Amino acid sequence: MKALFLCDIKGNIERVYQSCMEPFSESERAVYTKADLLADPAAFSDVEVIFSTWGMPVLTEEEIARCLPNLKCLFYGAGTVQKFVRPFLRRGVKVFSAWAANAVPVAEYTVAEIILANKGYFLTHRLYHQSGKAVAKKAFEKCRGNYGETVGIIGAGMIGKLVIQMLKQYRLKVLVFDPFLSDEKAAELGVEKCELPELFERAFVVSNHLANNAQTKGMLTYDHFRRMRENAVFINTGRGAQVVEDDLVRILRERADLTALLDVTDPEPPVEGHPFYTLANCLLTPHIAGSAGDEVRRMGEYMLREYQAYLAGKPCRFEVTEAMLATMA
């Protein structure tokens, strides 16, 4: 099948697929952009497979039909496909995503923060600098550590489930809010389902992994944050849009004991002068939970294996369907 590497940020293809180029001819290894497609549509009429990653251009159905009339599959070596996928699906193109590969570092990062949060790391670090060792040590005495503490997971999609599985090596109680999680699956995961207010009341650490869609926008409000336990921690490695950020700022100002660990915001980064930059109990990171450094190569390798399975007529693991988009990040 004639393959094409398509990406408006050409360097990303090399980063993601550097260990996966061997099956492709020299001519196929060239990287093209949307501008290249539109400039000479006839040159791409025989392309049947696209490989891409971050920087995948957004194409309309008409542009796909004109430039890529024989396209059968798109392999996306990155996470969310929400921005570009629908026109391809409507054209009958099979789309595969390395979201499962990108879920691994996000889950690892989240679990690391949960374990540190249960040990009181973020609170005591802040208090040590602000008020000295004695004050920090006294706050630490209220932390239960990672033996019997309760963690709340909001959203049991690919990343949420992986976080749950990784937490099994610790003796923790895990609460989950996810309307799509069946009782049978919850039992299989070893978690307790509950509604959002109860989750915020009971969990010492609350971690957001909601899908990013219109239904979840602004779902986490002041009414939830005000219920958090003393010294509790809120982690967001999902998307910023699920949080009413003015409400989060309000509770962080009212309760210095709480901590927010925000790897994502809405917008990203926060606008200049936003309180998140100066609140002592808000720790911002620049969306680093996902694949970085050599971790991005995992996604290219996932997509190469998926492509090889497709060619061999074997079951593929990571196809994206229209129905899945409602619950995917």
What CATH number does residue 303 fall under? 3.40.50.720
- Establish if 158 belongs to a structural domain: yes
What's the total number of domains in the chain? 2
Contact (CB, 8 A) for 237 and 262: no
- Are 271 and 149 members of one domain? yes
Report CA Rg, the chain.
22
Closest CA to 52 of 90, 84, 100, 92: 84
Q: What is the model's pLDDT at position 178? A: 96
- Establish if 38 belongs to a structural domain: yes
Cα dist from 118 to 158, 188, 198, whole Å: 23, 25, 19
* Burial letters 26-58, b for 16+ CB under 10 A, else e: eebeebbebebbeeeeeebeebebbbbbbbbbe
Statement: residue 328 has pLDDT above 80: no
Q: What is the model's pLDDT at position 323? A: 87
Q: What is the model's pLDDT at position 7? A: 97
- Establish if 49 belongs to a structural domain: yes
- Are 67 and 116 members of one domain? no
Q: Which candidate in 125, 224, 274, 287 is catalytic?
A: 287
For 18-39, the pLDDT digits (tens) are 888 888 888 888 999 999 999 9
Q: What is the model's pLDDT at position 324? A: 85
Please state the φ and ψ torsions of residue 153, each to the nearest 5 degrees: -110, 120
For 189-248, the pLDDT digits (tens) are 999 999 999 999 999 999 999 988 888 999 999 999 999 999 999 999 999 999 999 999
- Are 35 and 138 members of one domain? no
- Are 142 and 253 members of one domain? yes
d(CA 323, CA 166): 27
Contact (CB, 8 A) for 150 and 171: no
- Are 79 and 111 members of one domain? no
d(CA 207, CA 50): 35
* % of the chain beyond a pLDDT of 70: 99
- Are 112 and 87 members of one domain? no
Contact (CB, 8 A) for 43 and 68: no
- Establish if 289 belongs to a structural domain: no
- Per-residue confidence band for 325, with pLDDT thresholds at 50, 70 and 90: confident
For 100-155, the pLDDT digits (tens) are 888 899 999 999 999 999 999 999 999 999 999 999 999 999 999 999 999 999 99
- Are 203 and 270 members of one domain? yes
Domain with 72, as residue range(s), is 3-101+294-326
Q: What is the model's pLDDT at position 125? A: 97
Examine the residue annotation and report whether 129 is marked as an active-site residue of this protein: no
For 268-310, the pLDDT digits (tens) are 999 999 999 999 999 999 999 988 899 999 999 999 999 999 9
